[in-house]
C-alpha cells in the first residue's frame, strides 16, 4: 500500500477500518455517516436509536480527522464529563491500534505518537497547529467554553433523559448549544448526533436533521 492508497482507504472505506478494529457490525450506511462526519461541510444532525453505532462512527471519524487533518482543532461534547471520558478512551485505543499505526507510517513516513492522552484531550506528533492547540478536546455541557475556538465541533447525546424530565435542563442544553455557534472558527462545522427526548428539547435548534430508525441501520 502506498500513501495515496492509505489516504483513499481512510476517506472512502472507514467502516472497513472499523471491522479491523472489532466493530464488525458497521455497514455501508455507517460508512456513509463516517465519511460525512470527516468530509462534510455543512452543519448536520444525525438522529438514530440507541444501539445504532452512531457513537462508534463518531469515534472513528475523530481518529481519522486527527490523522488526515492534523492542522484542525476538534471539540467533542457529551452531557457529562464521565460520558466524555468513555469516548476519548475509545479514540485513543483506535489511534493506538496496529492498523492506524501502519497507515500513519505509510502516509507520513513516521511513527504515530500520542503526545497528550488525558481523559479530555488528545494531541499527537502529527499536530500542524502553529499555535500549538490540542487536536482534540472534550467536555461535558457544564464545562467552560470561554476563550475556546474550534474547526470541528461534535455533540453526541447532549440531550438525554434529564432533558425529558427537567425544563431547566432543556434550557441549559439549549444555551450551551447556542454558545457553540460562537466558538467555531470561520468555515467551521457543527455535527450533532443523538436521540430526541422531548418536543421542546435542544433538537429544535439543530439544523439539517437526518433520521434513521432500527430498520434503516440493520
Greater pLDDT, 197 or 18: 18
Q: How far apart are CA 201 and CA 215, in angstroms?
A: 25
Whether the pLDDT of residue 31 is over 90: the answer is yes
Whether the pLDDT of residue 17 is over 90: the answer is yes
pLDDT, tens digit (0-9, with 9 covering 90-100), for 121-174: 999 999 987 677 899 999 999 998 988 999 999 999 999 988 889 999 999 999
Beta strands in 25-170 (DSSP E): 44-48, 74-78, 114-117, 121-124, 136-140, 150-156
pLDDT, tens digit (0-9, with 9 covering 90-100), for 169-215: 999 999 999 999 999 999 999 999 998 888 888 999 999 888 886 65
pLDDT, tens digit (0-9, with 9 covering 90-100), for 38-73: 999 999 999 987 788 999 999 999 999 999 999 999
Q: 3-state DSSP helix/strand/coil percent for the chain, to nearest 5? A: 45, 20, 35
Amino acid at each position: 500500500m502506498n500513501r495515496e492508497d492509505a489516504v483513499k482507504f481512510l476517506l472512502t472505506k472507514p467502516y472497513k477500518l472499523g471491522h479491523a478494529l472489532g466493530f464488525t457490525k458497521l455497514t455501508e450506511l455507517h460508512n456513509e455517516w463516517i465519511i460525512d462526519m470527516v468530509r462534510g461541510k455543512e452543519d448536520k444532525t444525525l438522529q438514530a436509536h440507541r444501539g445504532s453505532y452512531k457513537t462508534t462512527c463518531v469515534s472513528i471519524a475523530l481518529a481519522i480527522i486527527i490523522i488526515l487533518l492534523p492542522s484542525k482543532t476538534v471539540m467533542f461534547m457529551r452531557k457529562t464529563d464521565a460520558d466524555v471520558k468513555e469516548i476519548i478512551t475509545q479514540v485513543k485505543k483506535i489511534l493506538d491500534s496496529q492498523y492506524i499505526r501502519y497507515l500513519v507510517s505509510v502516509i507520513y513516513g513516521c511513527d504515530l505518537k500520542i503526545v497528550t492522552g488525558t481523559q479530555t484531550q488528545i494531541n499527537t506528533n502529527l499536530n500542524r497547529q502553529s499555535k500549538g492547540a490540542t487536536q482534540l478536546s472534550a467536555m461535558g455541557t457544564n464545562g467552560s467554553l470561554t476563550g475556546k475556538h474550534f474547526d470541528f465541533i461534535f455533540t453526541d447525546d447532549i440531550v438525554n433523559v434529564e432533558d425529558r424530565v427537567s425544563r431547566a435542563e432543556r434550557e441549559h442544553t439549549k444555551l450551551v448549544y447556542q454558545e457553540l455557534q460562537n466558538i467555531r472558527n470561520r468555515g467551521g462545522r457543527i455535527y450533532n448526533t443523538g436521540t430526541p427526548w422531548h418536543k421542546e428539547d435542544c433538537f429544535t435548534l439543530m439544523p439539517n436533521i437526518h433520521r434513521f430508525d432500527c430498520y434503516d441501520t440493520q
